[in-house]
Homo-oligomer: A and B are copies of this chain.
Amino acid sequence: MATILKGATVVEALDERLAAEVEELKARGIEPTLAILRVGERGDDISYERGATRRAEKVGVAVRQITLPETSATEELLAAIAKLNADASVHGVLMFRPLPKHIDEELVRNALVPQKDIDGITDLSLAGVFADTGKGFAPCTPSACMEILDYFDIELRGKKAVVIGRSLVVGKPVAMMLLARHATVSIAHSRTENLPAVVREADVVVACVGRAKMVGAEHLRPGQIVIDVGINVAADGTLAGDVDTDAARDIVAAITPVPGGVGTVTTSVLIKHVVEAAQKATR
């Protein structure tokens, strides 16, 4: 039976460390602050905002909510971001996307200064991930994958890692982050020939395709570590990862659950980035 790599365990350790770091910052008169910029009243955004706020407050990070009406123009968003850029008391900015269609999203997201770009949405943050320069921040989901691998002391150096999926928010950045840790990284996707054989070769599998249970017994072998990024609604209405967990559990060495795996860690990573941004800004 596979070890279940529970997100909650990682979060507990991370939150404890963050609370201590926040205390240190506050002793120096700095209150690490996250600004959440929301346009409109989408339910998903509001529930994520609520979760992030709760998690931030738990470790002592302040949250400021800025909500703009759905009808806001590009210029109004640019003005809101310019204000947050200039405000030294704000250390990180989370902006929900997609933005309403009439807004120039590329222009707006790149208006944020990389120092406050705690969810890695600017081109400069992406370049930082690609070049491994530490400029800006990586997006939170791939960072959460790395956080889990680190917490459970998974050896990466020289090992074979396969990333299934090549999105700009997860697949590509996690591939670069694994590479920076000296893994031999393969990026597979919908066009990959003989995917089961490619995945079976990996020591570490990161599944981020967004298709319920598409990684099954035929892709897996004993000894593998599996990070399941997918959160999909399966045919029967239940939540399912990209991996068929029931099948995987009998084969691999360790796997993250869905729900309760990568997703759980993502919010804590967001808060971690705010704390890091505050530390860097005031060093």
Chain A residues at the B interface, C-beta cutoff of 8 Å? 123-124, 126-131, 135, 157-160, 166, 168, 172, 175-176, 179, 182, 184-189, 191-193, 198
Contact = CB atoms under 8 A, between A and B. Distances in A.
9 contacts: A124-B127, A126-B131, A130-B130, A131-B168, A159-B193, A172-B176, A179-B187, A182-B189, A186-B186
B193 A158 contact: yes
A166 B160 CA distance: 15
B191 A130 contact: no
B179 A184 contact: no
Contacts of A131: 123, 126, 168, 172
Contacts of A179: 166, 172, 187, 189
A192 B188 contact: no
Given A124-B127, A127-B127, A131-B126, A184 B187 contact: yes
Contacts of A127: 123-124, 126-127, 130
Given A123-B123, A127-B124, A127-B126, A193 B189 contact: no
Contacts of A191: 157-158, 182, 184
Contacts of A160: 193, 198
Nearest to A123: B127
A81 to B, nearest CB: 18
Contacts of A188: 184
A186 B185 contact: yes
Given A131-B168, A131-B172, A157-B191, 13 more contacts: A123-B123, A123-B124, A123-B131, A126-B130, A126-B131, A129-B130, A159-B193, A172-B176, A182-B189, A184-B187, A184-B189, A184-B193, A185-B187
A178 B185 CA distance: 14
A179 B168 CA distance: 12
A128 B126 CA distance: 9
A126 B131 CA distance: 8
Contacts of A123: 123-124, 127-128, 131, 135
Contact of A184 (B135, B176, B186): B186
A74 to B, nearest CB: 19
A122 to B, nearest CB: 9
Most buried by B among A123, A158, A166, A168: A123
A53 to B, nearest CB: 30
Closest CB pairs A-B (n = 7)? A123-B127, A186-B186, A130-B130, A158-B193, A182-B191, A127-B127, A184-B192
A198 B129 CA distance: 25
